[in-house]
Structure 1
Amino acid sequence: MGQHESNTKLIWQVFGFLSIVTIVEVILGIIKPHGLHFTNFLGTSLLNWIFIILTLVKAAGIMWYFMHMNHERKNFVNSIILPLIILIPYLVTLLLIEGHYIHEVMGSYINWKY
C-alpha cells in the first residue's frame, strides 16, 4: 500500500481499550465498592478519583489516536499537553471545593442517599 497503510488494526485496538475502560467505569458506578466509595482521599472518595483518572485516560487516548496527536511535532504536542496538565488539576480542585461547599450548605435540605 505504500505510505498510506491501513490503520484498521490500531483503530480496533484503541476501540477495545476505550471500551474496557468504559466498562470498568460502568461496573464501578453500579456496584460502588464500599471500600472505595466511603474512603475519603484529598476531598473526595477513592471511587471518584478512580473515575477522574479513568476519564482522563480515555480523553488522552482519544486525543492521541483519533485527533492524530501521535503524528504531530513535539513542540505542537507540548503546546497542547502542558496547558492541560495545569488546567485539569485546577478544574478538578475547583469542582471538589465547590461540591463540598454545596454539600455542606444544602445538606440539611436534601436527603443525600449513598
Structure 2
Amino acid sequence: MASHSHDHAHAAAGEIAKPNTAHIWKTFWILLAATAVEFIVAFSLDNKAARVSIFLALTIVKAFYIIGEFMHLRHEVKVLIWSILLPLIFICWLIVALLVEGTAIGEARM
C-alpha cells in the first residue's frame, strides 16, 4: 500500500481558503495616489502646458498599471506585451502627428 502524505499548507477538502486581498489593496492605494496627484495638480498649477503634460504622464502610468494588473498582462511573456505595446505606441504617435499637422494647416489658412 502506498502511503499518502498530507501537506498542511493546503486547505482541507471542503474548506474555503482565506482571500488574499493584500494585492488588491496595494493596487487600490497606488491608483488612489496617482489620482490624488492629478487632483492636486488640477487645482494648484497655473501653467497649462505643465498641467496637461503631468495629466498625460499620470494617465499613461495609470493605464499601464491597470492593463498590467487587471488584464494580467504583467505576467505574460515579453513577446505578447510588445505585440500589444508597439502598435499602441505607433497609434499614439499617429494621433499626435495628425493633431500637430492639423493645427499647423489650420493656422496657416488664417
Q: Determine if the TM-score, normalized by the shorter chain, exceeds 0.5.
A: yes
**Which of 70, 73, 82 pairs up with 2:86?**
82
Q: Percent identity?
A: 37
What amino acid sits opposite 2:39 in the alignment? V
Who wins on radius of gyration, i.e. which is larger? 2
Q: Taking structure 1 as reference, are residues 30 and 60 closer, same or farther at Cα in structure 2, changes over 3 Å only?
A: same
Tell me the CA shift for residue 48 of structure 1: 0.8
What amino acid sits opposite 1:18 in the alignment? L
Q: Determine the C-alpha separation between the residues in 1 that align with 2:18 and 2:73.
A: 18
What amino acid sits opposite 1:19 in the alignment? L
Tell me the CA shift for residue 99 of structure 1: 6.4
Task: For residues 19-65 of structure 1, give each alpha carbon's deviation from its aligned partner in whole angstroms, at most 9, with x where no partner exists.
Answer: 1111111221123x23x32xxxxxxx121111111100000000000
Q: Taking structure 1 as reference, are residues 8 and 100 closer, same or farther at Cα in structure 2, changes over 3 Å only?
A: farther
Which of 1 and 2 has higher RCO (CA within 8 Å, sep 6+)?
1
Which residue is 1:53 aligned to?
Answer: 57
Any residues of structure 2 matched to 1:34-53 within 5 Å, and which?
Answer: 34=46, 36-37=47-48, 45-53=49-57
Question: Structure 2: any 5+ residue segments left out of the alignment?
Answer: 1-8, 11-16
Which residue is 1:27 aligned to?
Answer: 40
TM-score norm. by structure 1 comes to 0.65
TM-score norm. by structure 2 comes to 0.67
Which residue is 1:16 aligned to?
Answer: 29
Q: Taking structure 1 as reference, are residues 52 and 96 closer, same or farther at Cα in structure 2, changes over 3 Å only?
A: farther
Query: How many residues are treated as equivalent by the alignment?
Result: 94
